[in-house]
Structure 1
Amino acid sequence: MGAPLYELKAEFFKTLGHPVRIRVLELLSEREYAVSEMLPEVGIEASRLSQQLAVLRRANLVAVSRREGSSVYYTLTSPQVADLLAVARRILTGLLTGQMELLEDLRATTTQASPGVPAG
């Protein structure tokens, strides 16, 4: 019997748990990219980018779409990866908005409780 689904999901999210991998997936959500085009966007050495692309390839999240001369182009294996990143953005936006509202409430309460004393 295979691993339970929750373990497979945990492994999937571990794969996503690196900032460079997320950035690569964000870029590929827009269009296919050559490795050389990704380098300035992710800001790391070519060898490190190749390592991260290998992890994403092993997880079947990205694939080589074509080779043109010495350039290798990558693409997402599924548009659902882009959907997942968009959902994550919406979740984070909601969480951060809630935290900002809480911070504003705390500042207002602190200012009301001790007038003349700077909040913070």
Structure 2
Amino acid sequence: MDKEHKKHLEARAKVLKAMAHPSRLFMIEELEKGERCVCELTEMVGSDISTVSKHLSVLKQAGLVADDKRGNQVFYRLRVPCILNFFGCVESVLEAQVNDHSAHLKIVTL
């Protein structure tokens, strides 16, 4: 693997790592519905504002969300809504796992 390819794969990994937390996945899902302020996300997630802000910072550094400060509030939006297409693929993997597990159980019980 050459250096450029490795750098590109590392950049991909950064995006995937940024999403690799249930609260961040939830925030991405909520931002799909539209822009949200930190206070709304804090209430929805059920964590303190500091924790939610850190999660949003991780998503922003990975390039997944953008922010806009208005007065005392900061609003976030998805920068690239196509990231949600990835969730469909993840759901397919989960469904395949369930199907494989069910098939295995049928074989074991026979």
Q: How would you bin the TM-score normalised by the shorter chain?
A: 0.7 to 0.9
Aligned 1:105-120 pairs, distance under 5 A: 105=106, 108-109=109-110
- The answer as to 2:57 corresponding to 1:54 is yes
- The answer as to 2:92 corresponding to 1:90 is yes
Supply the distance in 2 between the matched residues of 1:41 and 1:86 (Cα, whole angstroms): 23
- C-alpha deviation, 1:81, in angstroms: 1.1
- C-alpha deviation, 1:20, in angstroms: 1.6
Supply the RMSD in Å over aligned alpha carbons.
2.2
Would you identify which runs of 4 or more consecutive aligned residues in structure 1 move more than 4 Å?
Answer: none
Q: Give ranges in structure 1 of 5+ residues lacking alignment.
A: 110-120
Greater C-alpha Rg: 1
Q: Give the length in aligned residue pairs.
A: 107
Cα contact 2:67–2:76 (8 A) shared by 1: yes
Identity of aligned residues (%): 28
1:25 pairs with 8, 24, 28, which one? 28
**Bigger mean CA deviation after superposition, 55-64 or 8-17:** 8-17
- C-alpha deviation, 1:8, in angstroms: 2.4
- The answer as to 2:45 corresponding to 1:42 is yes
Q: Give TM-score, length-normalised by structure 1.
A: 0.73
